[in-house]
């Protein structure tokens, strides 16, 4: 048994001991989803480099970490930053902490609403990490907005509190917007700097006709942590799913997004940035399924790499035969600040319609020495000049985020990054 299969075996053994204690044990559909997830993980193991979608990201460190899952209640309340929005939802080690949260209307802990939410839990689709989540999730967010509701901006904090032993948590978030509903979520994930933990969230998202969901994610996990997230969104006619993800923490991070545009004039934006420092690995993998006509999509992902680091971008756009008049754009750009940094880029287009406008591209470069000279000649110190150019490089990726709360969260994460890494 190799290390990766062994890692899956550890999770499977843990599930065997916990299956009757996990939430929803009495619900037939939940039990079936958990058993199906276990079957997927048992058959495939944790994905390795022989799997094409994982050829650039090695999960052996995850398999070797021997994580455990905790079913105990949250103990002492962790220190919280000042709230950014009137409604804030706090998760500690993957469980919703109601005593630390100000829940908006129509929101609840998933563990308390599993019976109502179970039909919205999507099957794992043969994805081992989704199967692992289905097998082990304890809690998550259940947010079910009614027709025409405007929830405004909701802040979500994901906190890892335990650092004494390697711990894994697998929150499952179920979000549904009825026709015409609107929602903005600004989500931040953080944890202790030296703690080895695994955060494996899965999001099941449904955006109905004419609804709009803006989803801004700031990943600032501890430097010894792993985050392996999977988002699956289905967007109906005239609906919009707008995602921006900033990866700026963690030892090994993979942000995987699957979006299906199911109805005419549905739209998706999947922009992001990755700030990858020495010893870090960041992977953004996306799959966009244009299944209906007249649907636009936009994706710009920028990666900045310092020290001995590695970044990955894999983006696939599928245009089905029925998806005439598709307008799709995808761009990946990387900025290498070190000769030891590495970027792997694999943009893909698969088109079966004949009336489309689609383009994609990838660029890799270093800081422009002439621009550096220009700034230095005006008295700007070298490190500050580099920071200015890095910030300018990221501008295009973040300028589409218009929510002021989201802008503040992104600015805080990006500001000073190069100075900190250069120190």
Question: Residue 423: its pLDDT value, please?
Answer: 53
Structural contact between residues 191 and 197, judged by C-beta atoms closer than 8 angstroms: yes
Question: Residue 70: its pLDDT value, please?
Answer: 59
- Of the candidates 94, 122, 123, the one whose C-alpha atom is nearest the C-alpha of residue 110 is 94
The strand pairing partners of 315, in sequence order, are 286, 347
Question: Residue 386: its pLDDT value, please?
Answer: 86
- Of the candidates 376, 255, 260, the one whose C-alpha atom is nearest the C-alpha of residue 318 is 260
Question: Residue 343: its pLDDT value, please?
Answer: 96
- The CA distance from 37 to 122, in Å, is 11
Question: Residue 3: its pLDDT value, please?
Answer: 39
Structural contact between residues 3 and 54, judged by C-beta atoms closer than 8 angstroms: no
- List of the chain residues with pLDDT < 70: 1-6, 70-77, 162-163, 419, 421-423
Question: Residue 1: its pLDDT value, please?
Answer: 36
Question: Residue 6: its pLDDT value, please?
Answer: 45
Give the DSSP H or E segment for 34.
helix 28-44
Where exactly are the structural domains of the chain? 3-366
Question: Residue 76: its pLDDT value, please?
Answer: 55
Question: Residue 326: its pLDDT value, please?
Answer: 97
Question: Residue 72: its pLDDT value, please?
Answer: 45
Judged by DSSP in three states, 182 sits in strand
Give the pLDDT confidence of 24-64 residue by residue, as tens digits.
999 999 999 999 999 999 999 999 888 999 999 999 999 88
Question: Residue 79: its pLDDT value, please?
Answer: 78
- Written as one string, the DSSP assignment of 100-165 is G-BPPTTEEEGGGSHHHHGGG----TT-HHHHHHHHH----EEEEEPTT-EEEEEEEEEE----SS
Structural contact between residues 226 and 189, judged by C-beta atoms closer than 8 angstroms: no
Question: Residue 2: its pLDDT value, please?
Answer: 40
Question: Residue 4: its pLDDT value, please?
Answer: 41
């Amino acid at each position: 048994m190799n290390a990766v299969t062994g890692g899956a075996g550890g999770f499977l053994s843990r599930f065997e001991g916990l299956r009757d204690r996990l939430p929803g044990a009495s619900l037939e559909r939940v039990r079936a989803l958990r058993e199906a997830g276990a079957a997927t993980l048992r058959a495939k193991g944790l994905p390795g480099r022989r799997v094409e979608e994982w050829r650039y990201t090695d999960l052996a460190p995850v398999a070797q970490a021997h994580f455990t899952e905790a079913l105990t209640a949250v103990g002492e309340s962790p220190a919280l930053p000042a709230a950014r929005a009137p409604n804030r939802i706090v998760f500690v080690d993957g469980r919703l902490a109601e005593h630390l949260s100000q829940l908006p209307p129509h929101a609840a802990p998933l563990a308390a609403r599993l019976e109502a939410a179970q039909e919205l839990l999507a099957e794992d689709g043969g994805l081992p990490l989704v199967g692992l989540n289905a097998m082990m999730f304890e809690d998550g967010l259940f947010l079910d907005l009614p027709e025409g509701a405007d929830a405004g901006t909701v802040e979500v904090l994901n906190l890892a509190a335990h650092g004494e032993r390697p711990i894994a948590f697998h929150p499952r978030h179920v979000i549904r917007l009825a026709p015409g509903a609107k929602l903005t979520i600004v989500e931040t994930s953080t944890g202790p700097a030296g703690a080895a933990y695994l955060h494996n969230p899965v999001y099941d998202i449904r955006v109905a006709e004419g609804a709009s969901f803006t989803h801004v994610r700031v990943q600032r996990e501890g430097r010894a942590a792993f985050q392996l997230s999977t988002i699956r969104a289905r967007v109906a006619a005239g609906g919009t799913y707008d995602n921006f993800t900033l990866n700026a923490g963690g030892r090994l991070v993979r942000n995987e997004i699957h979006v299906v545009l199911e109805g005419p004039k549905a739209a998706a934006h999947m922009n992001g940035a990755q700030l990858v420092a020495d010893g870090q690995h960041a992977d953004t993998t996306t799959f966009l399924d244009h299944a209906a006509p007249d649907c636009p999509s936009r994706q710009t992902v920028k990666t900045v790499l310092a020290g001995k680091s590695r970044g990955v971008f894999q983006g696939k756009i599928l245009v089905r035969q029925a998806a005439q008049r598709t307008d799709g754009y995808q761009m990946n750009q990387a900025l290498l600040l070190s000769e030891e940094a590495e970027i792997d880029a694999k943009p893909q287009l698969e088109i079966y319609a004949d009336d489309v406008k689609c383009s994609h591209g990838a660029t890799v470069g270093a800081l422009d020495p002439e621009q550096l000279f220009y700034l230095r000649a005006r008295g700007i110190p070298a490190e500050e000049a580099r920071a200015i150019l890095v910030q300018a490089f990221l501008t295009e990726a973040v300028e589409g985020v218009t929510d002021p709360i989201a802008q503040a969260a992104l600015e805080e994460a990006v500001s000073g990054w190069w100075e900190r890494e250069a120190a």
